[in-house]
């Protein structure tokens, strides 16, 4: 058996030969003529000249051997519904959706924005888009109208696919009013909106623009829609991720490179086999949902489970009951979810037979050792952490047990994944750190492997300047995370180098939250920081200077203003971005040159030593923060 060290080394030193082998894991209509074109760094073009289709590889190619096998199982504990679709049924539904989109004017190269809950029709819409060569841009269903509007403006979709409502914890969240408001706010107006009616909330249709999915589906029950063969380097989708500025970044993904990367990851990282069952508990609004709910498992010929609901409803055994019923072999979740389950009665886990599980993969935020040990002991299977980003589309650091079984080290996501030439770099000098346990910025030497972002949608300069120019004298991709590497090659992630925070696996730009809060008429200045939290990994805390301090004479006044600010964040960005607290202070800590000391605020909020404050204009400012946070 090949050692993993040799496998990884070959992926770097014999890059083209290595990836030519991986390319054989998928179907091509025309084979690639060049494996990697890196003639214009940092832009990498993978499998140049090859033509393929993501939907063909996820659905059509399995019809010959496994047409009757379950492909997609959609489960909702919010509506108490459960439906399984075979590969043949999925193929038919995707074609109906594709024909409906084409009838609404969607063509190859057009964008389709998908704003949907975790229902089967969301999967049909994504697969239908890539089938006809349109780019989907999925927006998390929890986002408010303001955030949705910025994404509509940037993507300029021809059509939007949405639903009447989502539901969380039994509470219905109507989508149509949010969508209508977002379209009203956006300078770009989609020509068509396709609505799925779940019967959860009123869904008034705007004549000429809005269309009912069930009516269009009936018209296209038997319509055949062939796959559009795309050049490997043509984009498959965009997905927005928070940045350190208020404007989200549209991560642009290619077609061939992404398909190959996912096929290879299902084999080498997950050791997944056709006919097995994959259950990722994420949402299609996030990158994990794209790669490991929709595309990866289906490309591998596995059954994939889409779940709408909480891990504790109707009770804390729901996920384990799904594992037992569907003989789940591979499960992918987040540390936050496991920490929630850890607080529940252990009898819920003991009640179900989870012996089908081969491993549990966790990602989204750092996995703490007590949580890892608890779930490891409870499930008696390997708990495999992994570290990656929306930008990369698949893991940067993990254990590729499909190549060689390797031991987990609690607290570490693992080793550098094949294809990734990971370095630790001194932020100040640009020097590579090679000795064990030296702290540096986790960076990747170009070219990024297949499946990673091609660029920022319509903004090549932002791609270069954001990711490739932050380290002096080096053209390397920065993850903006600090890390160390031990003597055996295991990495440990220590936290962000920029102003993006990670709340229960959701990346939030503090600048975006700050801009939202500062729009309140009684907020003069605001700083938002991420603070360690036992359950969610991090939570956002806001420190605001009121314009009129005299208006905050009592606890009731402060509570009222805090509630107004929270409501504003909910309305503009959605509840996912709401700070856990908003503290009102007289001044914010700054250097003499006027730079805001967010790290000092974060340290005090976490009851840590804020370090050297010699550059601070007035160190006494932090005392008010200490007094408040200590309450």
316-320, 332-336, 593-597: least confidently modelled range: 593-597
Cβ neighbors of 81 (< 8 A, separation 6 or more) are 74, 75
Asked if residue 199 has pLDDT above 80, the reply is yes
- Does a cis peptide bond (omega within 30 degrees of 0) precede residue 167? no
Asked if residue 537 has pLDDT above 90, the reply is no
User: Is 169 strand, coil or helix?
Assistant: coil
Q: Which residue has the tokens 């993904």?
A: 253
Dihedral class, residue 480 (left if φ above 0, else alpha if ψ from -120 to 50, else beta): left
Average pLDDT over residues 87-94: 98
Domain ranges of the chain: 88-228, 501-629
For the chain, what percent of residues have pLDDT higher than 90? 73
Average pLDDT over residues 330-345: 88
DSSP, residue by residue, 486-550: -TTS-EEEEEESSSEEEETTEEEEHHHHHHHHHTSTTEEEEEEEEEEETTTEEEEEEEEEES-GG
For the chain, what percent of residues have pLDDT higher than 70? 96
Question: Six-digit token pair at 127?
Answer: 């697969």
Cβ neighbors of 389 (< 8 A, separation 6 or more) are 241, 287, 396, 479
57-71, 176-190, 358-372: least confidently modelled range: 358-372
The CATH label, of 3.40.50.980, 3.30.390.50, 3.40.50.720, 2.60.120.10, for the domain at 88-228 is 3.40.50.980
The long-range contacts involving 581-584, CB below 8 angstroms and separated by at least 24 positions, are 581/541, 581/542, 582/517, 582/542, 582/543, 582/544, 583/541, 583/542, 583/543, 583/544, 583/625, 583/628, 583/629, 584/544, 584/545, 584/546, 584/552, 584/558
Fold of 501-629: GMP Synthetase; Chain A, domain 3 (3.30.300)
pTM of the predicted model as reported, rounded to 2 decimal places: 0.85
Average pLDDT over residues 269-293: 97
DSSP, residue by residue, 309-368: S-TTSS-TTHHHHHHHHTT--EEEE-HHHHHHHHTS-THHHHTS--TT--EEEE-SSPPP
Rounded Cα–Cα distance for residues 363 and 504 (Å): 10
Average pLDDT over residues 352-362: 97
Rounded Cα–Cα distance for residues 561 and 300 (Å): 52
pLDDT at 119: 98
Q: What one-character DSSP code corresponds to residue 551? A: G
pLDDT at 631: 45
């Amino acid at each position: 058996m090949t050692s993993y060290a040799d496998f990884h080394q070959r992926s770097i030193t014999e890059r083209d030969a290595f990836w030519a082998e991986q390319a054989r894991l998928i179907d091509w209509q025309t084979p690639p003529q060049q494996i990697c074109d890196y003639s214009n760094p940092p832009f990498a073009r993978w499998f140049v000249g090859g033509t393929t289709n993501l939907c063909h590889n996820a659905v059509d190619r399995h019809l010959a051997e496994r047409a009757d096998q379950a492909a997609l199982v959609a489960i909702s504990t919010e509506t108490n519904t459960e439906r399984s679709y075979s590969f043949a049924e999925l193929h038919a539904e995707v074609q109906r959706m594709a024909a409906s989109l084409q009838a609404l004017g969607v063509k190859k190269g057009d964008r389709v924005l998908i704003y949907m809950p975790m229902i089967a029709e969301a999967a049909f819409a994504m697969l239908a888009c890539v089938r006809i060569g349109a780019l989907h841009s999925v927006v998390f269903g929890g986002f408010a109208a303001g955030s949705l509007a910025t994404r509509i403006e940037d993507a300029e979709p021809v059509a939007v696919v949405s639903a009447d409502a989502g539901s969380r914890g039994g509470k219905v969240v109507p989508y149509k009013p949010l969508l209508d408001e977002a379209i009203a706010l956006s300078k770009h107006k989609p020509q068509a909106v396709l609505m799925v009616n779940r019967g959860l909330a009123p869904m008034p249709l705007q004549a000429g623009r809005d269309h009912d999915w069930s009516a269009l589906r009936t018209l296209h029950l038997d319509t055949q829609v062939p796959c559009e063969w795309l050049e490997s380097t043509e984009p498959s989708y965009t997905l927005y991720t928070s940045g350190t500025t208020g404007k989200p970044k549209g991560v642009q993904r290619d077609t061939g490179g992404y398909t190959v990367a996912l096929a290879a990851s299902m084999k080498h990282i997950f050791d997944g086999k056709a006919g097995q069952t994959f259950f990722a508990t994420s949402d299609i609004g996030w990158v994990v949902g794209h790669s490991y709910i929709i595309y990866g498992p289906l490309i591998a010929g596995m059954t994939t489970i889409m779940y709408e609901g909480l891990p504790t409803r109707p009770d804390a055994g729901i996920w384990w009951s799904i594992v037992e019923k569907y003989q789940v072999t591979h499960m992918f979740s987040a540390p936050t979810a496991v920490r929630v389950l850890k607080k529940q009665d252990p009898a819920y886990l003991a009640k179900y037979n989870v012996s089908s599980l081969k491993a549990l993969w966790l990602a989204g935020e750092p996995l703490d050792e007590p949580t890892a040990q608890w779930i490891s002991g409870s499930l008696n299977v390997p708990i495999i952490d992994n570290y990656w980003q929306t930008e990369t589309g698949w893991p940067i650091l993990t254990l590729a047990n499909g190549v060689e079984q390797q031991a987990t080290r609690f607290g570490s996501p693992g080793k550098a994944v094949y294809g990734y030439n990971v370095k630790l770099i001194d932020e100040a000098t640009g020097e590579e750190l090679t000795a064990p346990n030296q702290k540096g910025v986790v960076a990747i030497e170009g070219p990024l492997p297949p499946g990673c972002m091609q660029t920022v949608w319509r903004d090549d300069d932002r791609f270069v300047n954001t990711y490739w120019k932050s380290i002096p004298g080096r053209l390397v991709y920065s993850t903006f995370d600090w890390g160390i590497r031990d003597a055996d090659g295991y990495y440990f992630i220590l936290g962000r180098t920029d102003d993006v925070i990670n709340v229960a696996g959701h990346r939030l730009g503090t600048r975006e939250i700050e801009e939202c809060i500062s729009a309140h008429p009684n907020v003069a200045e605001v700083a938002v920081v991420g603070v360690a939290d036992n359950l969610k990994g991090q939570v956002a805390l806001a420190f605001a200077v009121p314009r009129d301090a005299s208006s905050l004479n009592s606890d009731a006044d402060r509570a009222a203003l805090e509630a107004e600010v929270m409501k504003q964040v909910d309305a503009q960005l959605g509840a996912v971005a709401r700070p856990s607290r908003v503290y009102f202070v007289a001044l914010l800590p700054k250097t003499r040159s006027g730079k805001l000391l967010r790290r000092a605020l974060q340290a005090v909020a976490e009851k840590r030593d804020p370090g050297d404050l010699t550059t601070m204009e007035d160190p006494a400012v932090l005392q008010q923060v200490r007094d408040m946070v200590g309450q």
